[in-house]
Copies of this chain bind each other. A is one copy, B any other.
Amino acid sequence: MTTFTIIGTGSMANAIGGVLASGGSTVDYIAKDQVGTAPLAGDVVILAVPFPAVDSILAAYGDAFDGKVVVDITNPLNFETFDSLVVPAGSSAAAEIQAKLPQAQVLKAFNTNFAATLAAKSVGELLTTVLVAGDSAEAKATLVAAVEAAGLGAIDAGALVRAHELEAIGFAQLTLAVSEKIGWTGGFAVQR
């Protein structure tokens, strides 16, 4: 059984925590005002916060991330324009976080899922599927197993470099939802 620490208490944090708990994982949460004081108890730490909040979390915990699997769920949009990302072209938030945490194994996951479809475990008639990218096969297998244990789908989408494409998917999906082309209870689904 995998232990997870989720940093964040918003809708995505709760949806992800609910999924993992329903699959039998142990989940604890760290709220904004506990960052830096509450311990990173889990083997896997999920950064379920907006991208601009990540840096202060990394600074607050420093080498406490060493040896952890760290899951980045962010979509690093420019939320003023909704027309670009705030990471360099071709790169990704996940790659930037990995560069700042060289002793951790960073995974990109959950950024292509909306909270409602994680909670519902379905996107329309299709099973909600979590796409996971990262350079550690072992770390990916751990997360995939924890998600599948909850009855959702999970797919190893490749190395961490593929986080660029996962963030592009998340970006496109957000622009469609904000422009009301799709609902927040819908979005992209995956058929195997």
* Known interface pairs A125-B124, A126-B124, A187-B191; A156-B171 also in contact (CB < 8 Å): no
Report yes or no: A182 in contact with B155, Cβ–Cβ below 8 A: yes
Those of A154-192 within 8 Å (CB) of chain B: 155-158, 161-162, 164-166, 168-169, 171-172, 175-176, 179, 181-183, 186-192
Greatest chain B CB density within 10 A among A131, A181, A183, A187 is at A181
| A123 part of interface (Cβ distance < 8 Å) | yes
**Majority secondary structure of chain A interface residues (helix, strand, loop or mixed):** mixed
Q: Which residues of B contact A156 (CB under 8 A)?
A: 181
| A138 part of interface (Cβ distance < 8 Å) | no
Report yes or no: B172 in contact with A162, Cβ–Cβ below 8 A: yes
User: How extensive is the interface on chain A, given as a class?
Assistant: 20 to 34
| Minimum distance in angstroms from A73 CB to a CB of chain B | 17
Assembly CA distance A89 to B92 (angstroms): 12
Assembly CA distance A181 to B190 (angstroms): 10
Interface residues of A (CB under 8 A from B): 83, 89-90, 123-126, 131, 155-158, 161-162, 164-166, 168-169, 171-172, 175-176, 179, 181-183, 186-192
